[in-house]
Structure 1
């Protein structure tokens, strides 16, 4: 029921629905941890069946929501293994992306449509729905006309950077649910790995070469190489965004800001693109500046929620 409530909110509240959809993995993660693998599998399977009935068959939306539920299941699986937090997140995301790609290929075969054509049609449909949403919430008509005239160009770009958008989104959702799951599991007396204090987490130093390499590839004249560079850069910068958020959380904790103020500030970060860029830069330059002034080799146990 918790999964279906979150699903309904994400579908029927389109303006803020994406915030609800981010937490679809959470109830699956909880019940997989509580009930074990065999019984915990019932939750996503029943939820997928009910969602399929509501939507009216197998669609790309089913693949999307199924992937989110699989992410929660995979995260719980990784909790039972002695893996560092980075490996647990990467492994869970790898499982979801691999299964999702396989499901999309099978769906394209069943519908007798190429994968690229399928993705292009899906992106085009959602762009038109987004345009209708903008009209319904009172966006100025001049802006609507400007967006409408650029839909083909927007679709062209989105289709080609979709791999990195999907990977980056999966990575961020996995990290968000990891943080959200800890207090819930600990309050119920369920096991949660000792990953240390996550607001002290930092990306491996070697990852900076991903930024440099992707930037250099983007300078090449061939369009195909530039697309590879853009996709790689988006994924790597997502990791640094997560590190930047960890730094922000560290200072929120240090200054003992009340929880309501923290929530408002996090919402502002989520809604303002300028703040997003600032957070990415903070995470990126932390390798040299060390904003938190902490020893990267020193590991502290996490605090109870």
Structure 2
């Protein structure tokens, strides 16, 4: 029992520490925020769901004491729910890719319910609440541009870009929300796989041989046509579906890159550098996503698989 409490305290402390660090780093802290659920999920995988629940409860108490009930609610929805839901699925031997998909839907439902409760208590509709949040972010971005050393023409162009991005975010907010949860889930799976060391097992296929379901290509094609050629609601639905589906093909493209690195015997340091470059340098993410899509027809890993079977 004492060991379980210590493990839970450790998980809560690391998770809250990462959240605090993210707050100090400003915009760069967005990347650190992706790691906040990992300690809670790790504790749940290592010590069971009671340990994970206790770690989350400890974090709730600290968040309430330092930031009030609103801070606790945000931590619960944004970090604790993704960690515990994913760990619960993985501990039931749900394959990691299915755990990401199902967990994303469940966390999105929890977030939707939390937003509805907040909007109801505020006496403002959900759409108005979201638009108000986005407008505040747009206003902040505009003020940053005005404070910068920009010429009149540059400032006008900056305002045009920011305003256009704000309009795009308004119609694709559901898709972006799901995308953020997908990334949270995938990052957790990545780190849990690295931290397992035989203490627990993640069910599912080896990542470098992983593929999306073949039937997923049809919703992708339909969403692409709707987003590019549709109008009104049809276009909005298509754009949101693209945001939700394309990350699966980016992941498949990354699996192909991982297979290629393993085949060529690329050192771990070089692999890590390659993954970072793919994630941050345009147009590499688009190229990798395209590789994932066309893998359905080309099957980039087939030659290697044939030699393995001989």
When the two structures are superposed, what TM-score results if normalisation uses the length of structure 2? 0.84
The answer as to whether partners of 1:29 and 1:75 remain within 8 angstroms in 2 is yes
Q: Does 1:84 align with 2:58?
A: no
Q: Does 1:193 align with 2:202?
A: yes
Q: Does 1:42 align with 2:51?
A: no
Q: CA deviation at 1:100?
A: 0.6
Q: Distance in 1 between matches of 2:155 and 2:266?
A: 39
Q: Which of residues 114, 120, 131 is equivalent to 1:109?
A: 120
Q: Which of residues 290, 296, 302 is equivalent to 2:299?
A: 290
Q: Distance in 1 between matches of 2:60 and 2:263?
A: 42
Cα distance 1:204–1:121, how it changes in 2: closer, same or farther (>3 A)? same
Q: Distance in 1 between matches of 2:183 and 2:303?
A: 24
Q: Does 1:155 align with 2:166?
A: yes
Q: Distance in 2 between matches of 1:130 and 1:51?
A: 28
Q: Which of residues 22, 33, 37 is equivalent to 1:21?
A: 33
Q: Distance in 1 between matches of 2:76 and 2:139?
A: 21
Alignment correspondent of 2:17: 5
Q: CA deviation at 1:262?
A: 2.3
Q: CA deviation at 1:57?
A: 4.8
Q: Distance in 1 between matches of 2:213 and 2:305?
A: 10
Cα distance 1:29–1:221, how it changes in 2: closer, same or farther (>3 A)? closer
Q: Does 1:215 align with 2:224?
A: yes
Q: Distance in 1 between matches of 2:188 and 2:268?
A: 18
The answer as to whether partners of 1:131 and 1:144 remain within 8 angstroms in 2 is no
After superposition, the CA RMSD in angstroms is 2.8
Query: How many residues matched?
Result: 295
Question: Over alpha carbons, which structure has the higher Rg?
Answer: 2
The answer as to whether partners of 2:95 and 2:202 remain within 8 angstroms in 1 is no
Q: Does 1:68 align with 2:79?
A: yes
The answer as to whether partners of 2:22 and 2:33 remain within 8 angstroms in 1 is yes
Q: CA deviation at 1:84?
A: 3.0
